Structure 1
C-alpha cells in the first residue's frame, strides 16, 4: 500500500472445474498500491476509473467499459482517485514444459467436440469391473520434464 486506506470487496463469480481459470468481481475506494500478478488477468472496468502504471513508467487511465490485460509476472501500480469496480477473468499459466502433456490429457479425457474421451470411456468400463474385483488399485503416472 503506497497511499490511502481503501475499502475493498472481492466476490468470486465462477471457476473452471480444474481451478485454473476463474472470474471475480472486485471494487476499491481511493488508494494507491502496487500489484504483482501471479496469474494472467483480463479486466473490464464496470464503474469508476483507475490509473495503472507499468514498471517502465507508462501510465494509462482505465474507465468504464475499458478492457486491459495484465500478464503473469508483471507488476503494476494502481491509483484509484475515487472508486473503481471491475470484473476480472483470471488464468493460471501452465509452465511451457507442461503445456503439451496437459493438452494431451485434456484431449484424452474430453475428446473432440466435448464428447467423452478415451480416458472417460475407459474409466466407465473399468467402473463395472472394479467392484467385482474386491479391491481398487490406482496408478499414477508422473511425467518428468526439465524446466
Structure 2
C-alpha cells in the first residue's frame, strides 16, 4: 500500500478543507494517508511516506502560511533527501496578485532540491477562475492516483 503524507499550508481553512477531501478520495482508492495540518518534519519523516503531497494556499507577497512555515524552514535547513519519494503540489492562489501561488511554487522548488521525483506538473488553482478548488483538484488527483488493487 502506498503511503501519502498530505502537508497542508492554510490561513483561512480553504487548503485544509481541500486536503481533507483529498485524503478521503485517496483513502477510498486504497492509499494510506496521513494529514499534516500543523506539519512537523520529524512527524512526516517518521511516517516514511512514498508520496509527499503539499496542498497550500499563499499569503501576503507569495509567502508560505504560518502553520507550514516552520516545516518549510526545517526541511530547507535539514535537507532530508527524498531520493526515493514522489512529490506532488497543489497550490491555491489568486492571479490578481503578483506572486500567484507563491507558497506552492516555493514548496515545489524545495521538494525538487531535496531530490523528490515529481509525479507530474504542479496544479495551480486560481481563485479568480475557480470558486471551489475541489472541482479542479479532485479530478486531478483521480487522474494521477489510480485505485490500488
TM-score, normalisation: structure 1: 0.25
Structure whose residues are more often helix by fraction: 2
* Rg larger for: 1
Which structure has the highest strand share of the two? 1
